[in-house]
Amino acid sequence: MKNKETKLKNKIVKQAISSVRRDHKVDVVSLLSISKELNVDFSIITKYYTSMEDIFLEQQKKNWKSTYRSLDKKTKGAKTPGDFKSVFDTFLEDFVSNLGADADLNWEVCSFIPVCLEFREANKRVIASKIKNIIKRGWPGKTDNVLDRQTDLFILSFYGFIDHIVHTPVKERAIILKDFRNMLNLHLQDRLFF
């Protein structure tokens, strides 16, 4: 039964994304229209989602949960500064490689839905904490002030990077990622952060 429910939820999400992409607006797509397009009873859809906003918020949470599960596992296994640097690089590679075909639409929609923006702000604090730990252990010897400033600059850069990379053709993402990763690594090598 669980597999059947998962498949149905995935179909609902896929249809919601398809409908928003087609109509170019979230506010003109409703759960009722999705139920009609999928030929599924409205009450079944509302069993899983209460609104279109709920669909995009859940997708956003699901994607980050998966990202953090992988990052936490790799961080737990890291022992040396080199291991933590590798975790950092792998995090960026995994993030880009896991961007779906509809990452642009998800990012754009989540950029103006209030509940998604609230989650994004809370999520920035979570990722900042995880990255700060990786920086501290991968590039040891930094003062707390430098560590805080470099973490803040990472968050600022990373969210700008996401906004750019989701709109970049998949074939070009690896090149941009390489440049971005190199820039961040140079930045993190600076102990004084003048």
Contact 55/77 with Cβ under 8 angstroms? no
Comparing 97 with 28, the larger pLDDT belongs to 97
Identify the CA nearest to 86 among candidates 124, 152, 94: 94
Contact 155/127 with Cβ under 8 angstroms? yes
Whether 176 has a pLDDT exceeding 90, the answer reads yes
Residue-level length of the chain:
194
- Confidence tier at 73 by pLDDT (50, 70, 90): very high
Task: Name the token pair of 94.
Answer: 């995994």
- Confidence tier at 179 by pLDDT (50, 70, 90): very high
User: Where is average pLDDT lowest: 25-29, 65-69, 109-113, 132-136?
Assistant: 25-29
pLDDT 10s digits, 85-94: 999 999 999 9
- CA-to-CA separations, 160 to 107, 154, 157, 163, in angstroms, rounded: 12, 10, 5, 5
User: Where is average pLDDT lowest: 28-32, 40-44, 92-96?
Assistant: 28-32
Contact 73/91 with Cβ under 8 angstroms? no
pTM: 0.86
Whole-number pLDDT of residue 102:
87
Whole-number pLDDT of residue 191:
63
Whole-number pLDDT of residue 29:
82
Whole-number pLDDT of residue 194:
44
- Confidence tier at 1 by pLDDT (50, 70, 90): low
Whether 160 has a pLDDT exceeding 60, the answer reads yes
Whole-number pLDDT of residue 145:
92
